[in-house]
Amino acid sequence: MDDKDISAVLKIMLEPLNTRKTSWRLDGSANLKVQGIDINVNDIDIMTDEKSYISFKNRFKKYYTDEGYDEKKKKHYLMLMIAGNEVEIAHYDDPLIVMLDKIKMIEWKGLKLSILPLVHAKKFYELIGKDEKAKLIEKYLHP
């Protein structure tokens, strides 16, 4: 996905999200990309809490493709297809992984996004065992 694809998907998602109290943050490679890391983005990942997960499910049901629970990761997920791009909405059972208390609002391409700052994103990847991404972030934090 390029910046234009990411922006198009987020525009569709942000309008309904801004009309409700929804706790969420951009996650995964898209979160890293909007913070200036040169990385390929294959899909959009959104992290949320249990209450907001239900809101996402109700709000975006026309985009729904799959839903499930990953026992190994202790993660609930909802898969969507928006503007031809895959979106995953997830919430983990472990609140230390969700990190909604660490989010920051930024503006990117005219959009107001809830992101996980790189220092916390690095910790997130360490917690879920994705050391390769944690090392990539480290390079940007300490060039």
Element (H or E) spanning 15, and its range?
helix 3-18
Q: Is residue 137 part of a domain?
A: no
| Residue 21 clears pLDDT 80, i.e. is over it | no
In whole angstroms, how far apart are CA 73 and each of 46, 78, 92? Answer: 16, 14, 8
Any domain includes 143: no
* Model confidence pLDDT, tens digit, residues 30-89: 999 999 999 999 999 999 998 889 988 988 999 999 999 999 989 999 999 999 999 999
pTM over 0.85: yes
How many structural domains comprise the chain? 1
Residue 128 within a domain: no
Task: Give the range among 6-15, 16-25, 49-58, 101-110 with minimum mean pLDDT.
Answer: 16-25
Q: How far apart are CA 32 and CA 85, in angstroms?
A: 18
- Answer yes or no: is pLDDT of 20 > 70: no
The domain in which residue 97 lies consists of 3-117
Residue 103's φ and ψ, nearest 5 degrees, are: -70, 160
